[in-house]
Structures are given as C-alpha cells and as structure tokens.
Structure 1
Amino acid sequence: MEIASLPYIDEHVTVIAAGTDDVWRSLGETLDQSFSRPGMAGYARLVRSADRTASGPRPLVEGSTFPGFRVVAAVPGRELVLKGRHYFSSYALIFRLEDVSPERSRLRAESRAAFPGLAGGFYRGLVIGTGGHVVGMRRLLSAIRRRSE
C-alpha cells in the first residue's frame, strides 16, 4: 500500500534547541535504540511484521530496517520516511525537520495507518483508541529532543 493512500492518524510537533544536523543524527540514533530492543523484535515476530530485525547501514538510509519498520526515504537533515506492515496494519511514520533559526529546529512526526478487517479494527482500538500511540509518540519526540539538546 502506498503511503499517500494510508489514512492520516495524527501529527506531533516539537521545537528543539539544536540545528537540523544534530536533530537528524539524534533522530536516527533514538529510533534505532527504541525499536531495536529485544522486546521489539519479539513483538515484530508475534504480529508477523514484514521487517523483524535491524539491518542495513547506519546512519539510516533507504533500505535500512529495524523491527517493524523499513526506511523508504531519507533526506539527511530534512525527512525520514518509515513504512511497516504486519498482520493487523499497514503504517508509516514521516519525520520532517525544519529550521526555525540557526540553532533551533522543528521536528514533525506524522502517522498514517490502515487497519483492515475485524482484527485490524480491534488492533486500532488497542493502539489508537486507548491513547497508547499518542503517549508513545510524545515519549519518542521527547527522547529525540533530549538527545539533540
């Protein structure tokens, strides 16, 4: 499924007291650390994710993977697009970086996902309906901000 056709879920934004190059580096390191923990690999296997292990070059480039995600586009200092698929959902995370000033950056994280069928609807309720996705995204952006600053 193409990213543009995935339904929009939400967008989270944070302003970081660091330049886009520093934020870019922290984004990749934080994603790698967050999604490459042993528990994530087990979860990726459980839900039959297309990508279940970390592989490919670091820093992240197109084709790099970690459990649950594959990098489909990487423009250093500007945009990182992740795509994933498993039994209950097809999804994407799009990170966009903008200069606010020489030492301040805005990081946007857009989420898109489709949850087909009855099982997908149930999974959506667990992930989106409970607010778990919002909590996870806020924590992720906070971790990127802390690492960058």
Structure 2
Amino acid sequence: MPVIPRERADGEGPMDITALPYVDEHGTEVEAPPEAVWRALGEALDGAFSGAGATAYAQLVGCADRSASGPRPPAPGSAFPGFRVAVADPGRELVLIGRHRFSTYALVFRLDPVGPRTRVRAETRGRFPGPLGALYRLLVIGSGGHAVGVPRLLAGVRRRAERDGSGRRA
C-alpha cells in the first residue's frame, strides 16, 4: 500500500493510514460485478453502523463521528458512527477512518474483479495507545469479536450483491 496521507477523522489534518499498524485482513468472493458489490457494501455499512446501538457505542467511547451523515452511496466526507469516509473510489476502494479515546484506526475495503466475480477484502489498521488502548485492543481484537464481526459484515455484502446478480434487491 503506498504512503498516502488521508484526512484524519477529527478534521485536524492528514492521517497516514500506512503508519497505522496492520491488524488483520478478511475477504470473500462475490458472484457479482464490482459495481453491484460497491452498492451492497454501502448498504451493508449503513445497516451495520447506523443503528441505535452503533450510535450509543460511538458516543460511549468518544468517537469523532457519532452519527450517519453525508451522501449515499458513501463518498468522501460521508460518515457512519465511528467512521468517516476518507476515500471512495466506486467499484474499487473504500477507506473508512476513525478515532476515539482508545484508538485511531482505518478499515480499508478493496474490490478486485476476478472474472465474473469480485473479491472484496477488508483490511484493518489501528493504533491503541497506552494502557487503556491496550485493554481496548484486548477486548475488541483479542476477544475474537473483530474476527467474527468483519467476516459477518462481508457475508452481508455478499448476500446483498448476489440477490439478483446485480446488487439490486429482487
């Protein structure tokens, strides 16, 4: 991944995503073209992060972005509780960034065409400073919760995109 400064979630200048430590990557193949997967990804993110629970959690940990806002499908400046869209290259890449009391993080979705299918990958990067950050990392990453949640999100993207082969609801 090239070193590209991205807007920080708090609006206080650029965030170099490549400087954030790598956490993990999950992926799946979808029986649909990248454009359909892109639409499904936006819908799945709205479904996963725009509910009352996500909003309450974003408030609890002090996220910079605490509510859903901005254009849909996601575009730079759009937000979900806990995340702001830094890069939106439709059908190719979606970069979400965020910050709260215990972490600075990025979630990078990449869509790669593989014949008639699309491989969608979700790479997580994050910094968890200090003792409270280490405890938070243990609770979120070490507990396995993140390793369950991200593949579940990707499975939702796959289901939505494959409904009729175009990503549109049948």
Question: With structure 2 as the length reference, what TM-score do the two structures score?
Answer: 0.86
| CA displacement 1:67-97 (0-9 Å, x = unmatched) | 0000000000000000000000000000000
- Alignment match of 2:126 (pick from 113, 119, 123): 113
CA distance in 2, matches of 1:108, 1:6: 18
User: 1:134 — aligned with what?
Assistant: 147
| Correspondence for 1:63 | 77
**Could you list the runs of 5+ residues in structure 2 that have no partner in the other structure?**
1-14, 163-170
- 1:98 pairs, out of 112, 122, 134, with 112
4+ residue runs over 6 A deviation: none
The residue correspondences of 1:18-37 to structure 2 (distance < 5 A) are: 18-37=32-51
Question: Which string of whole-angstrom CA distances, capped at 9 and with x for unpartnered residues, describes residues 14-46 of structure 1?
Answer: 010000000000001100111001010011000
SS in 2 for 1:77: coil
Question: Once the 2 structures are TM-superposed, how far is the Cα of residue 55 of structure 1 from its aligned partner?
Answer: 0.7
Number of equivalenced pairs? 148
Distance 1:55 1:31 in 2: 12
Task: In structure 1, list runs of 5 or more residues that go unmatched.
Answer: none
Distance in 2 of aligned mates of 1:128 and 1:57: 30
Letter in 1 for 2:130: G
Structure-1 residue corresponding to 2:16: 2
**Alpha-carbon distance in structure 2 between the residues aligned to 1:110 and 1:58:** 22
| TM-score relative to the length of structure 1 | 0.98
Identity %: 61
User: What residue in structure 1 maps to residue 6 of structure 2?
Assistant: none
Aligned CA RMSD, in angstroms, stands at 0.6
